[in-house]
Structure 1
Amino acid sequence: MSVLSGKKILLGISGGIAAYKTASLVRLFIKAGAQVQVVMTPASKDFVTPLTLSTLSKNPVYSSFYNDDDQNEMWNNHVELGLWADYFVVAPATANTLSKMANGICDNLLLATYLSAKCPVYFAPAMDLDMYKHLSTVENFQKLERFTNIIIPAESGELASGLSGEGRMAEPENILAFLENDIASKLPLKGKSILITAGPTHEAIDPVRFIGNHSSGKMGYDIAYEASQMGAQVILISGPSHQKINHHLVNVIKVTSAQEMYDACLENYSNVDVVIAAAAVADYRPKHVASQKIKKNDSTFTIELEKTKDILAVLGEQKKNQFLIGFALETENEIENAKLKIQKKNLDLIVLNSLNDLGAGFGKLTNKVTFIDKNFSVEPKILKTKENVAKDIIEKVKQHFQL
């Protein structure tokens, strides 16, 4: 999965012959999983049609401050467009448009949107060789980079003038690769390795029955996704769950029982920087597992249980430099029990759930948590979607590394 998956890309197209390549660029952004909106200068419509770009992006294409064919003359809000985007890419960026960007000239919708954008801005120059080398152009490049805009270097090759040299807009595939590499290199958790446990465990009674719980695994999977979006290499050890994740930075290890989860955690523990133990691991398992299906003969049936290995406690005992986060699901004396768990298991942070909170617990799309750190600082949070709770948890990881 690309780092652009789920991201919002605003593509600004100015009036150069290289504009014809933007149809391929939009398609590549869409294939990478991004949402795309296009803003064009009026001159760029001579090289590529808004209909083509609208069809490929599945969004309206904007080129003026109002729609000529709208009887109400609806205003196209450049501020909203600028705030919508996670990334703004100007490609092709002609000498004319670059000069206006560098000097604050605002005479079309693209430039007004550029001046309103709060996100990172990338620009891909496209012009003839002499224009590209001209001192005024070089000065504009330098000025835009001082504005923290990021240049996607032009390539060498055949130019529209018939000359051959530097100034050709980077090919769409190279623009995509440049964005992905640049964004990935700046992700706050790049270079960190995080082990996350998720879901329930199933403890076999016989070949067809088990002891389990109602955990869906969603919380752990959401944490894994958020960690990977921040650049971390994630090992997700998952009990039985219908949740899915597809990200090139996430390695999913499927397990069934508490013992299998224990073995997988210990095998990977020494190589990770962070552990987030979100799984609902069974505390007990049947002492004896029947080799054949147990027949329904007697009116009562007794199963002798034995304790499973306490994964979190063992990780706490073996902890060196790892940042260890546990979860606690409580129904009474929540804060006190969570603090005891921090001490007993040598945790750095605990994420407390209470089944007494409406909207929290197993099988819900929302969660209400309280963070308690090893110094017993208590930080209650409001009810949020599990995706947003995952963001809060990963924010704690970033704070630990002071990122």
Structure 2
Amino acid sequence: MRLKYEELELLKKKYGVNRIWSFSRISTFLNCRWAYKLLYIDKIRANNDNVYTIMGTECHRIIQDYLANDIKYPDMEHQWGEFIQKWKDDPKSFQFDTKKIENGYLDNIEHYFKNTDSIPFKVNNEKPILIKLKDKDGKPFIFVGYADTEYKDDKGDLNIIDFKTSSKSTFSPKGLPKKSMQLILYAIGEHQRTGLPYDKIHCRFDMQKYCTVNYRMENGKWKNSIQARSEWVFKMSNKLKTKLPKAGVDPITTDEMIIEASQNNNMDNLPEEVRNQFRISNYYIDIELSEEICQKLEEKIIGYCKDTLELEDMGEDLNDYLEINFPYDSSNYYCQKLCAYHSSQAFKEEMGIIKKPLLDEQEIDNLFGNVESEDAEEDDELLKELLS
């Protein structure tokens, strides 16, 4: 539940600050100073939606509704299918870069809603979290964030989940520290609120496009493999080529079974003794928490806050500073597709990346209300003068 304006104002008054910070503000600053200027200094509410934001938003809504018991398990697949059909029927909808990317994305998410893990505890979705930070001089920096899903398990541990439809490559060991800052910040807030030690707070990403395949090896031990949901059976083909013959299946039938299973992306056609050697579950990335890690992040976040304030204080020198230090990088995917500033129509027209579209006859008529009258000829003459 999002806090209302009045509630945020009360927080400002209580903690003696003139701003309630959000991690999205810091994230925008780190990703692109130009976008920060646009959104937070110029206060232009640019529409920075893209195909991934609209898909991700719907994924969040559906899984959160299910976890809150607002819809049943089969409803997830049904609602996702309805959403995708509307998206496909809309000629103005955002599109994926390629058909291959589109098919992979949609198939992965469809599989998620058919097979996702349930949480056997009461959950709290979009829970407001207050985080209170102070610099060395005692200056407060107050944050409010919203956890996708939070719950307490049967051990009394607090679990915070962030749902992600992103590719796991962006959550590599190198990129994970930056990706996990928001969750760690939420852990700090819940530590402050509850007094729970950090070893009783667990933060994890639910990587919705992927699953963990748990399979039994020939020595009887079990091993995990992380796979894209849409092709997890195909990726197990080599293992099936070993297991099916051991279950008494002849070579020709083995190949046929593997092809059918791969096409259906399930093992329903395989012998039970083979199926029982494979299990799939959600793929989670767990975030390491400790006093030291959280303390370092607090210091880092406070530093980012001060950097943003310095940027805001540049005044008339800001544009020159940005042009020199943060020039547009046309090879950067974030700038091209995701940045609120650099991916905007206005910026691309200004830079000559795309031409400003000419008005067609109907649009010109609409400018003037498309009103027909007995003086139509005079109106046409007036229009010519205005456009000359």
> TM-score, normalised to structure 1's length?
0.20
> TM-score, normalised to structure 2's length?
0.20
- Relative to its length, the structure with more helix (as a share) is 2
- Relative to its length, the structure with more strand (as a share) is 1
